[in-house]
Amino acid sequence: MKNLSRRAKRTVMITAFSMLVASMPFHMAYAAPGGAMEPAVSTGITILPLDQHPVPDVLKTQARLELTQMKDKGYVDSTEDAVSYLDKAKEDKDKRLKSMAEVAPKLRINPANVESSPLGQAVLLGATASGGYTEEGWTGLNRIFVVPKLGLVGLDEVDYVASQGGMDFIKEAINQNVNGFPAILTVKKSRSNKGLTELTWADDRKIYTLSTNRALKDQKSIDEFLALARSIF
């Protein structure tokens, strides 16, 4: 790994608790601007009970609320912005998305092979580089597909090893598994009843988030979504 800037490391490691406005503090990697006030971070993947996460109590309270909502209602109350990012990317795809031919040369990450999965037969709307930037390229990739029965599907992956980062999962939020790796399924709904479903997991190299612009409700739909995740390597 060459010259991954401190800012890039922070960029890769800011998820979940710092995405509180996105209403998903279920998996966390700690980082915040401000030098000395920045919480300590470890690299790699850890699973900790909520009470052991070194974050402000207000964020733990929010996380407990959302854990309760998922258990009792099957979804988390979310803002319109939190459930709309896939739709917005499609609406403005000429500005937001590029072809894989344009993005691939800029990547440090080795993208997941989706050819043998349903995503291999889906329409790829476009892609963007993400994660942190190194001399060898970007450590993350986001792709958006149109998948029959599921609608818009996003696949975001970050090479946390190349990024020198990691993620701390809230133990109580883990409710699924993907190919043997612990995973967190979150369903979100806004006041207008717009929905989003996200599944996040990590293997020994990368962190993945698979999303669809629907609030999946019945077990059959959730099982199909999980099967899609398990087809990604």
At 15 the pLDDT is 35
At 82 the pLDDT is 94
Distance CA 228, CA 233 (A): 11
pTM of the model: 0.85
Picking from 48, 45, 74, 56, the residue whose alpha carbon sits closest to that of residue 20 is 56
Q: What is the mean pLDDT of residues 114-142?
A: 95
| Residues with Cβ within 8 Å of residue 135, at least 6 apart in sequence | 2, 3
Report yes or no: 213 and 145 within 8 Å, Cβ to Cβ: no
Q: What is the mean pLDDT of the chain?
A: 84
At 68 the pLDDT is 96
Q: Which residue has the higher pLDDT, 99 or 11?
A: 99
Q: How confident is the model at residue 29 (pLDDT cuts 50, 70, 90)?
A: very low
At 164 the pLDDT is 87
- Is residue 42 predicted with pLDDT exceeding 70? no
Q: Which residue has the tokens 């001399």?
A: 135
Q: What is the mean pLDDT of residues 131-159?
A: 95
- How much helix, strand and coil, in percent to the nearest 5, is found in the chain? 35, 30, 35
